[in-house]
Amino acid sequence: MDRMSLGWIVLFWVTGVAEGLQVIVPEKTKKAMLFQPVVLSCRFSTSSQQPAVIQWKFKSYCQDRMKEALGMATAGAQPLSKRNLEWDPYLDCVDSRRTVRVVASKQGAVVTLGEFYRGRDITFGEGAELKIGKVMWGDSGLYYCIVTTPDDVEGKNEDSVELLVLE
């Protein structure tokens, strides 16, 4: 192996180790038809040799999106969103102003459904993906894929996707 190749290998190895845990949800918005199955993709990489704990968490919208669709959006949200283009009045608010609940957790082969989701067809697929057998109206909102490892605490351990349930 020549010195140049060895240099690149060392650089990639050091960069990979420095980044630590990385969680990526490739689709930021996912649309699903009512009562149809949906798969929420989530990928992660870690330098840890320990099994990861994967958790999916649901957060409801801050404001009802149906009001916007029907032309009844709250007047206060529009000027704020125009001042700060990064801010979304439907997605960005403190958790105390919305419903937050654990959908499911997985550690090794053990899967635990959150209390609200028990009895529903919800499983884990490849890696950290979440499979919902039949989506319901109340499933619209933000879903956070959170990955935790005991010895890899650096990096980005969560990412989110917005699920829109359509008729």
Write the pLDDT tens digit of every residue in 35-57. 999 999 999 999 998 899 999 99
What domains are there in the chain, each with its CATH number? 28-69+86-165 (2.60.40.10)
pLDDT given at position 8: 37
What percent of the chain stands above pLDDT 70? Answer: 76
User: At residue 13, does pLDDT exceed 60?
Assistant: no
- Using the 8-state DSSP alphabet, how is residue 66 labeled? H
User: At residue 11, does pLDDT exceed 50?
Assistant: no
Identify which of 116, 132, 101, 144 has the alpha carbon closest to the alpha carbon of residue 32. Answer: 132
pLDDT single digits (tens) 79-137? 444 555 677 877 888 888 899 999 999 999 999 999 999 999 999 999 899 999 999 98
Is residue 130 within 8 Å of 139, Cβ to Cβ? no
Task: Classify each residue of 33-65 as buried b or exposed e, where b means 16 or more C-beta atoms within 10 Å of its C-beta.
Answer: eeeeebebbbbbebbbeeebebbbbbbbbbbeb
N- to C-terminal Cα separation, the chain: 59
